[in-house]
Structure 1
Amino acid sequence: MGTAVDVRRESTDSMDYGVREPARLGRTRLPDGRHLGWAEWGPVDGTPVLLCPGAATSRWLGFGGDTVDASGIRLISVDRPGLGVSDPAPGRTLTSWAADIGHLIQKRALRAPAVVGFSQGAPFALALAASGLVSGAAVVSGSDELAHPRFTSSLAPQVKSMVDAVAAGPEAAAASLADFASAETLWDLVITTSAEADRTVYTAPVFQCAFRRALDEAFSQGPEGYARDTVLAMSRWPFDLAGIGVPVDLWYGQQDTSPVHSPDLGGTLSRMIPSAARHVLPTAAGALLWTHAGAVLDTLLSHAR
C-alpha cells in the first residue's frame, strides 16, 4: 500500500459545490518502480470509487465532498502518468493505464471498485470497465470516441483539426499540443468554451481555487502528460465497447457547450455499450459532476448493492 498523509480541512463556503480538500494523499509504487499519486475522500473502509479526472487536472479536484462520508464512499482520484505526482510512462496507452490501475487496486486492496470518468477522463474509465477491473462505471460529461467515423461530419472544426492531426502523426500532434499547453491556457479554454451555467460553477471562489490548484499541479512536470492524454483520447480507442459487461451510466447536461465532449451527448455511445444507461439532464451543463454529484454516486452505488 502507498504512503498517505491526512490533510482534511472543512470548507466554510456554502457555494463550494461539494469541493473539499482531500482527506488523505499518497503515492503507490508500481512493479516497474514508477509511482501513481492519489487523493482520497470519505471513510477508509467505505465502498471504493475511483475517479479519472478531466483534462489537465490532478488528484486535488474531487467531487461530492459533502456526501461521501454519509454515503460510505471512499473516493480515490488518481493522477495519470506524467501529471501531478505520478511518474511519467513514455509511450503509455489506454491499455497500459488499465494495467497500472490493476496493480493499484491489488496493492491498496480496493475490492471491486467502481469508477467515474469526467470529461477527458471518460476513455480512461471505460478502459477499466473493458478490462473487467471495476464493478460499474459512470461517464460524466464525457469525451466520446471522437476519432470514430460516426463523428466525421459532426465535430467542431477545431476539434476535427486535432483529431486529424493525431491520426496523421500521434507523436507530432503530442509535441504540438505540448508547445502551447499550460495551466493558464487550459483555464482560459475551459472558461471560453463553457456555458454560462458552467462558468458560474467554475468561477465560484472555492471551486475556482481548487480547480486552478489542480491545473497547476497537473502541469508541475510540464505539459507532456496532458498532451499524451489528449492524443490517447482523440485516437481510436483500443478496446471493444460492445464487450463491456458491467453497468455503465452516461451522464450529460443538455446545456453543455464543450466541443470536446460527446457531440450527441452519448446517444450513439449508449447504443454501442450494451450495459449502458443514458441520462440527459435538461437544465444541467458540463459541470454536472459537481451540480449533481449525489445522483451520479447514488446510481453508481445502486449497481454495487
Structure 2
Amino acid sequence: MDYGVREPVRLGRTQLLNGRFLGWAEWGPADGIPVLVCPGAATSRWLGFGGGIVDSAGIRLISVDRPGLGASDPAPGRTLSSWATDIRHFVQERALRTPSAVGFSQGAPFALALAAGRVVNAVAVVSGSDELAHPRFAHSLTPQVRGMVDAVAAGADAAEASFADFGSADALWDLIVTTSPEADLAVYTDPVFEPSFRRAMDEAFSQGPAGYARDTVLAMDRWPFDPADIAVPVDLWYGQQDTSPVHSPDLGESLARMIPTATRHLFPDAAGSLLWTYSEAVLRTLLGHVR
C-alpha cells in the first residue's frame, strides 16, 4: 500500500539569528502553501507524508529537525517557548510568510507552541501527545509514563540524563514494534515505509541521544502556555485503536475542550499511524483554514 512516503525534493540547513542552524527537508512545489511539520519522537526531517497529495494540492511541506536531532545544531536547555522563537526566525529567514503546522505524536506540543506563539495560522495535531503532566491525567497514565512525568517533576536534569541512557534508534524501534496494534504495524513494517522510518530514526540520533532526551523532558513537563489562549484553528486527529501510552490518554477529548478553536476528529478504524493513513484529510482540512 502507498502510505505517501517519498524522498525529499529539497534538503538544507538555515542559520538563525543566534548562529545555530536548523536542518530541514521539503516536498511539493517551492512556491506552494507552506506547512511546517513537527516530527514525532526520535525521528527527523527525512520522514514525510502525503507524497501523493502535496503536489496536486500546492503544498510546500517543510519538516524541521528540532535542535540536537538530525541536521539541527544543539541548544542545551531549550524549551517549547525557545522552539517557537527559533521557528519565528526560521520563517523570516526563508520568507515563508505565515505557515501552518502539523504536529505528529510527540511533535504535537511543539506545533501547539507555535500556535500559542502566533507563529502559525493553523495547526493539525495528529495522534498527538497531550500535556501528560496536567492534573487532569493524574490517574490515567500508565505506570511507566507516570514514572517519567514524576521524574521530570522531581528533577529535570536527572530525568534528562536517564532518558539519554535509554535513547537509541534501535531501542525506540523495538519499543514501537512491541507495543503497536496491528493497524499500526501494518504501516510501520511495510516494506517501503519501514526503511524510511528507520533512516529517519537513525539520523535523529546521529548526534547522540541528547536531542531525544531533551524532547522527552519537554513532553513530560507542564507546557509553558495555556491552550485556552490559542486563537488559530486547531484540528485534533485521533484513531480509536491508538494504544500509545504517550499520546493523549483520552484521545484529545479534554484538550479539545480546552482549546476554544479546536475541532476533534475521531476514527474508529484508525490507530496511531493516522498521519499516513488519513494524510489527505489532514492536509486538505488544514488548507481549508488558510485559503
Give yes or no for TM over 0.5.
yes
Within-5 A mapping of 1:148-167: 148-167=134-153
How far 1:16 moved relative to its partner? 3.5
3-state secondary structure, aligned to 2:17: coil
Within-5 A mapping of 1:101-140: 101-140=87-126
Distance in 2, matches of 1:287 and 1:194, equals: 10
Q: What is the match of residue 40 of structure 2?
A: 54
How far 1:32 moved relative to its partner? 1.2
2:127 alignment partner, one of 120, 141, 159? 141
Within-5 A mapping of 1:263-274: 263-274=249-260
8 A Cα contact 1:118 1:139, kept in partner: yes
How far 1:104 moved relative to its partner? 0.4
Q: Are 2:288 and 1:290 equivalent residues in the alignment?
A: no
Specify the code of the residue in structure 1 equivalent to 2:48: G
Q: What is the match of residue 187 of structure 1?
A: 173
Q: Are 2:203 and 1:207 equivalent residues in the alignment?
A: no
Q: TM-score, normalised by structure 1?
A: 0.95
How far 1:190 moved relative to its partner? 1.1
8 A Cα contact 1:49 1:115, kept in partner: yes
Within-5 A mapping of 1:169-248: 169-248=155-234
Q: What is the match of residue 5 of structure 1?
A: none
Q: What is the match of residue 10 of structure 1?
A: none
Which whole-Å deviations, capped at 9, do the CAs of 1:172-202 have from their partners, x for residues lacking one? 0010010121000000111112111100100
Which whole-Å deviations, capped at 9, do the CAs of 1:149-190 have from their partners, x for residues lacking one? 000000011110111001101110010010121000000111
Structure 1 segments of 4 or more deviating over 2 A? none
Distance in 2, matches of 1:116 and 1:283, equals: 21
Within-5 A mapping of 1:85-100: 85-100=71-86
Distance in 1, matches of 2:180 and 2:160, equals: 24
Distance in 2, matches of 1:82 and 1:190, equals: 22
Between the two proteins, the alignment pairs up a number of residues equal to: 291
Between the two proteins, what is the percent identity of the paired residues? 76
Unaligned runs of 5+ in 1: 1-14
Within-5 A mapping of 1:247-262: 247-262=233-248
Distance in 2, matches of 1:130 and 1:191, equals: 34
Which whole-Å deviations, capped at 9, do the CAs of 1:100-127 have from their partners, x for residues lacking one? 0000000001111000000000000000
Unaligned runs of 5+ in 2: none
Which whole-Å deviations, capped at 9, do the CAs of 1:54-83 have from their partners, x for residues lacking one? 001000000001110000000000000000
Distance in 1, matches of 2:119 and 2:19, equals: 22
Q: What is the match of residue 5 of structure 2?
A: 19
Distance in 2, matches of 1:91 and 1:157, equals: 27
Distance in 1, matches of 2:275 and 2:169, equals: 21
